[in-house]
């Protein structure tokens, strides 16, 4: 064969080899790239599934936590509501008790006011009564003192009059006694005279009566 033909054949073979080699390389590269793309897609899909699963789990956990929080909030709300109702009931009971106490206090205040007014009225009445009794007692004392003074004055006047009368009577009796006093004398009788002792006794009694002071009148009552 001619050398150019051989070279041409060699060039063609080399070209074919290069072409097929390139085609094979390209196909292999494409397969590798496809495998890479598939692996990447599978990884992406797996990542998406994992992400979706994580999101689902996160959403489920979030829903669980939200539900738990809702239940907790509802429990807290019910507890707060019960506490509020209890506080309202206690406040209402305290209000009613305060109203009853205020009403009782008002009644007690009114009663004490009435009793105070009654006591003040009674005190004024008793004070007026004591003042009237004191005035009457003072008038009675003054009247009794005046009567006593009048009685003492009357007694003194009566005593003075009686003393003056007695003095005058005594002076009169003394004058009359001095003017008319007469004494009996004893006659001498013999010892054997039977009435001699009786006669002497009568004479002595008569003379003693003449010497005795006049009898004082009975005191006035």
Q: What local confidence, expressed as pLDDT, does residue 2 receive?
A: 56
Q: What local confidence, expressed as pLDDT, does residue 217 receive?
A: 46
Q: What local confidence, expressed as pLDDT, does residue 161 receive?
A: 85
Q: Kindly tell me if the per-residue pLDDT of 188 is higher than 50.
A: no
In tens, the pLDDT along 190-205 reads 554 445 555 556 656 6
Q: What local confidence, expressed as pLDDT, does residue 154 receive?
A: 85
Confidence of residue 162 (pLDDT cuts 50, 70, 90): confident
First to last CA, the chain: 215
Q: What local confidence, expressed as pLDDT, does residue 66 receive?
A: 87
Sign of the CA dihedral running 162, 166, 171, 173 = positive
Question: CA–CA separation, 140 vs 147, rounded Å?
Answer: 10
In tens, the pLDDT along 62-90 reads 888 888 888 888 888 888 888 888 998 99
In tens, the pLDDT along 88-134 reads 899 899 989 999 999 999 999 999 999 989 989 888 888 898 888 88
- pTM score: 0.33
| Of the candidates 163, 201, 204, 200, the residue with the CA atom closest to the CA atom of residue 183 | 204
For 29, 34, 172, 215, 219, the CA distances from 166, given in Å and listed in that order, are 190, 184, 9, 11, 11
As a whole number, the mean pLDDT across the chain is: 77
């Amino acid at each position: 064969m001619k050398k150019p033909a051989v070279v041409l054949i060699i060039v063609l073979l080399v070209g074919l080899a290069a072409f097929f080699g390139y085609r094979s390389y390209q196909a292999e590269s494409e397969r590798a790239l496809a495998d890479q793309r598939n692996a990447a897609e599978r990884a992406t899909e797996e990542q998406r599934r994992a992400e979706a699963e994580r999101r689902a789990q996160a959403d489920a956990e979030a829903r669980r936590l939200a539900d738990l929080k809702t239940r907790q909030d509802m429990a807290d709300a019910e507890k707060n509501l019960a506490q509020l109702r209890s506080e309202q009931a206690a406040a209402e009971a305290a209000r009613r008790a305060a109203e009853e106490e205020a009403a009782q206090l008002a009644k007690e205040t009114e009663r004490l006011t009435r009793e105070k007014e009654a006591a003040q009225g009674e005190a004024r009445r008793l004070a007026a009564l004591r003042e009237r009794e004191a005035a009457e007692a003072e008038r009675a004392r003054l009247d009794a003192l005046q009567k006593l003074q009048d009685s003492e004055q009357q007694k003194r006047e009566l005593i003075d009059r009686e003393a003056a009368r007695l003095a005058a009577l005594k002076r009169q009796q003394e004058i009359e006694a001095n003017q008319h006093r007469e004494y009996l004398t004893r006659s001498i009788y013999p010892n054997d005279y039977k009435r001699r002792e009786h006669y002497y006794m009568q004479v002595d009694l008569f003379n003693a009566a003449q010497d005795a002071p006049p009898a004082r009148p009975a005191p006035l009552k």
